[in-house]
Amino acid sequence: MKKFFEAFANVWKIEELKNRILVTLGLLLVYRFGAHVTLPGIDATQLNKLSDQTQEGIGWLIDVFTGGAFSQASVFALGIMPYISASIVVQLMGIAVPYLQKLQKEGESGRKKINQITRWLTIAITLVQGPGYIYNLYRTLPQEAFLLSSDSFPFLFSSVVILTTGTIFAMWLGEKITDKGIGNGISLLILVGIIARMPQAFIQEFTSVVTENNGGPLKLLLEIVIWLAIIIACILLIMAVRKIPVQYARRTASGDFEQDMMGGNRQWIPLKLNASGVMPIIFAQAIMFIPAALAGLSKSDTAQTVTSQFQNVFGLAYNVVFALLIIIFTYFYTAITVPTNKMADDLKRSGGFIPGVRPGVETGDYLDRIMSLITFPGSLFLALIAVFPAVVVSFGVQSQWALFYGGTSLLIMVGVAIDTIQQINSYLLNRHYDGLMKSGKNRKAVA
């Protein structure tokens, strides 16, 4: 523990890292402030029914993803969910659309063009979701909550424009955090919303278990132990790797490579059990918002059944579909983030080879086969943790606290925290300090 605090103190000795952390905290503070700025024309004291709508189930998850802005009728009420939805659409289209496939192969310039396409699509999605959110306000809030006439076109138009602007600004904040701060900005915006809801959820559980004598302190202690065990399981899932041995050939005097029969210069390719991190969870959760939203537009019996099924985040149908989407997105995102063919080509050009496997195409196929094998148990474990809240809620755990037993909330918290710590760790190690995830004796920083 002492080594950790010493490493943490070293963070502030690196000027660039300190500035990045301060920029990140400042931009997150701006986002949290904006989450409490109510839309013009709405009485902030009349939002009780909207808050009740987000106390549990799918409404609670939407409110978490928007950092509480949804229940505040805030200018950030749609949050960065339209951006995530746009990212899903663009990445899925990248499989079938030749133009996007071409951009993916163009490196940095292609990535910038794809990002620009994603931004424009985000605006289009927000312009569709904005009227839907205002329509939900019409149905939920009392008439006196609207300072202006709620059925007037100026109110609708101005509110949609403000919601769209809020989403664009939130997207800009996320991108600025990624570029100028530390960690993935979009993920951090979601993280702060989850953390903001966590104390309230624990207090409710504490009140139910201890104050109301619904199990007593021993039950609460057991819940905390299980919660910590799941956190450890999430960390192991994210950090677990399968190491593939790689041997490098020696360059001869003629410039050609020959195999090193002595087995020297051996290295490893670390292939993660869960190479996609928390992105499958975020993508799957964004998709799960759609069925209930679309069905809610209809009054038919079938639509009402679909709405009830997909608004119950602890229901069987919801969790089965959620788990399947996580498995699918885990494979999909792994295929994007782990280019096995490129890895094989790079190995061949540098004179590297996997013992017993021919360089080139066979190496690419071998790596692809290994990734498929290790991704399957990784995706199952990820899906299991994601649906675990539905299990613990059946044992009497309060619904809001149960959602932190895995699910979207805990996996995002752990995944984003690990990613951010790893980035901080790299800064420390580059300056010859001990990292936050490594013990040892401090060394003098290189000027």
Of the pLDDT bands very low, low, confident and very high (cuts 50, 70, 90), residue 249 is low
Residue 253 vs residue 201, higher pLDDT: 201
77-91, 219-233, 300-314: range with lowest mean pLDDT: 300-314
32-41, 324-333, 376-385, 425-434: range with lowest mean pLDDT: 425-434
Q: How far is it, in rounded angstroms, from Cα 443 to Cα 434?
A: 8
In sequence order, what DSSP letters do the residues of 197-246 get, joined into one string?
HHHHHHHHHHIIIIIT-SSHHHHHHHHHHHHHHHHHHHHHHHH-EEEEEE
Q: How far is it, in rounded angstroms, from Cα 342 to Cα 349?
A: 11
Q: Tell me: the pLDDT tens digits for 330-377?
A: 988 888 778 888 888 888 888 778 888 888 888 888 888 888 888 898
Give 152-155 contacts, CB < 8 A, sequence gap 24+: 155/41
Q: How far is it, in rounded angstroms, from Cα 56 to Cα 440?
A: 46
294 pLDDT above the threshold of 60: yes
Asked if 391 and 404 count as a contact pair (C-beta separation under 8 A), the reply is no
Of the pLDDT bands very low, low, confident and very high (cuts 50, 70, 90), residue 202 is confident
190 pLDDT above the threshold of 50: yes
Alpha-carbon distances, residue 137 vs 159, 167, 306 (angstroms): 11, 18, 21
φ/ψ of residue 251, rounded to 5: -85, 130
Beta bridge partners of 352: 248
Q: How far is it, in rounded angstroms, from Cα 410 to Cα 227?
A: 9
Alpha-carbon distances, residue 123 vs 35, 78, 117 (angstroms): 19, 11, 10
Most confident of 300-309, 313-322, 424-433: 313-322
Q: How far is it, in rounded angstroms, from Cα 290 to Cα 441?
A: 52
Q: What is the pLDDT of residue 120?
A: 93
Domains annotated for the chain, with CATH where assigned, are: 1-15+207-447 (1.10.3370.10), 35-181 (no CATH)
Region of 56 (left: φ > 0; alpha: ψ -120 to 50; beta: rest) is: beta
For residues 159-164, give the mean pLDDT: 92
Q: What is the pLDDT of residue 262?
A: 44
| Sequence-separated (6 or more) residues with CB below 8 Å from residue 245 | 266, 267, 268, 354, 355
12 pLDDT above the threshold of 60: yes
Q: What is the pLDDT of residue 164?
A: 93
Residue 125 vs residue 146, higher pLDDT: 125
Return the closest-CA partner of residue 430 out of 13, 4, 6.
13
| Sequence-separated (6 or more) residues with CB below 8 Å from residue 217 | 209, 210
- Chain centroid offset of residue 122 CA: 17
259 pLDDT above the threshold of 70: no
Q: What is the pLDDT of residue 440?
A: 43
Q: Report, in angstroms and rounded to the nearest whole number, the Rg of the chain calculated over CA atoms.
A: 25
For residues 416-435, give the mean pLDDT: 78
Q: How far is it, in rounded angstroms, from Cα 370 to Cα 375?
A: 8
Asked if 287 and 387 count as a contact pair (C-beta separation under 8 A), the reply is no
201 pLDDT above the threshold of 70: yes
Of the pLDDT bands very low, low, confident and very high (cuts 50, 70, 90), residue 266 is low
Q: How far is it, in rounded angstroms, from Cα 295 to Cα 298?
A: 6
**Structure tokens, 366:** 């071998």
Q: Which residue has the tokens 């360089």?
A: 359
SS3 sequence, 309-370? Answer: HHHCCCCHHHHHHHHHHHHHHHHHHHHHHCCHHHHHHHHHHCCEECCCCCCCHHHHHHHHHH
Q: How far is it, in rounded angstroms, from Cα 442 to Cα 173?
A: 35
Q: Tell me: the pLDDT tens digits for 385-416?
A: 888 888 888 888 888 888 888 777 888 888 88
296 pLDDT above the threshold of 70: no
Return the closest-CA partner of residue 131 out of 166, 155, 97, 107.
155
Can you count the helices (H) and strands (E) in the chain? 17, 5
Amino acid sitting at position 399: S
Query: Is the torsion defined by CA of 430, 435, 438, 439 positive or negative?
Result: positive
Mean of pLDDT over the chain = 81
Q: How far is it, in rounded angstroms, from Cα 284 to Cα 411?
A: 13
Give 308-317 contacts, CB < 8 A, sequence gap 24+: 310/58, 311/57, 311/58, 311/59, 312/57, 312/58, 313/57, 313/58, 313/60, 313/61, 313/389, 313/390, 313/403, 313/407, 314/57, 314/389, 314/390, 314/393, 314/394, 314/399, 314/402, 315/390
